[in-house]
A and B are shown apart, each in its own frame.
Chain A
Amino acid sequence: DIRMTQSPASLSASLGETVNIECLASEDIYSDLAWYQQKPGKSPQLLIYNANSLQNGVPSRFSGSGSGTQYSLKINSLQSEDVATYFCQQYNNYPFTFGSGTKLEIK
C-alpha cells in the first residue's frame, strides 16, 4: 500500500495568514492526489484533484502543487470558515489511501 505522510498534524494561524499543508507519498503517485476539507461535524468535501486542479465552487485562495512524492495544499488569506481538518488522498494505486489529516484552527 502507498503510505501518505501528512504534516503538520495540527496548525494554528491568524486570519489573513497563508498556511501550507504537506503530504508525502511513499512512492511516486504521478499527481494522482486529491485534497479534502472536513468542517467540524460535516462530511468531507473535495477541494483539489490531480494535485493542482481546483474543484468547481472552491475559493481561489486554495491551491495545490507538487509532483512525484511531494505535494502541498496552500491556503491564502485564511478565513474563519477555513477552520477544518484537511486530508490528502492518493488514487494512483489500489488500495487508495489517505493522509492522517491536518486540523486547522484560527489563532
Chain B
Amino acid sequence: EVQLVESGGGLVQPGASLKLSCVASGFTFSDYWMSWVRQTPGKTMEWIGDIKYDGSYTNYAPSLKNRFTISRDNAKSTLYLQMSNVRSEDTATYYCTMATGGGVMDAWGQGASVTVSS
C-alpha cells in the first residue's frame, strides 16, 4: 500500500524558513516523479512543483520558484520542500503526491499544515 507521510509543518513567522519532509513507502520511490500541492484555508488547490525520479530536474509554479525548492533523497525515500521568506499567503495544507502519467497525482499524503503568522 502506497503511503506518504508529511511532517515539519507548524506555526512560522513571516520571513522565516521552513522545511517539509515526506516519507514514502509501499512503492519504489526512485521510480517516480513526485510533487507538492498546497490547499489554502479557502480550499483553493495550487500546484507547487515536481521533481524527476532521479532528482535531476524540477519544475515550479512561477509565482513560487524564487522561494520554494523541491529536493529528494532516494536512499531515504524522502521528498522535501524548502520554503524560504514565507508570507501569510503561504498558510495552507501542503500535500506530497506521487505523480504518474506526466502529472496525474496517483497518491496523496495526509497533508502538513503550515500557518504563517506573527
Chain B residues within 8 Å of chain A by Cβ, number: 23
Tier of interface size on chain A: 20 to 34
A1 to nearest B CB, angstroms? 8
The interface residues of chain B lying within 8 Å CB-to-CB of A91 are 101-104
B108 within 8 A of A: yes
Known: A43-B95, A44-B95. A98 touches B105 (CB 8 A): no
CA distance A43 to B95 in the complex (A): 8
Main secondary structure of the interface of A (DSSP, over half): loop
A24 within 8 A of B: no
Quick check: B95 and A98 within 8 Å, CB to CB?
A: no
Quick check: B45 and A87 within 8 Å, CB to CB?
A: yes
**Which of A32, A34, A85 interacts with B43 by CB under 8 Å?**
A85
* CB-defined A-B contacts under 8 Å, sample of 19: A34-B104, A43-B95, A44-B45, A46-B104, A46-B106, A46-B107, A50-B101, A50-B104, A89-B47, A89-B103, A95-B49, A95-B61, A95-B62, A96-B47, A96-B103, A97-B47, A98-B44, A98-B46, A101-B43
**Chain B residues proximal to chain A, CB less than 8 Å:** 35, 43-47, 49, 59-62, 95, 101-111
**Chain A residues proximal to chain B, CB less than 8 Å:** 1, 32, 34, 36, 43-46, 49-50, 55, 85, 87, 89, 91, 94-98, 100-101
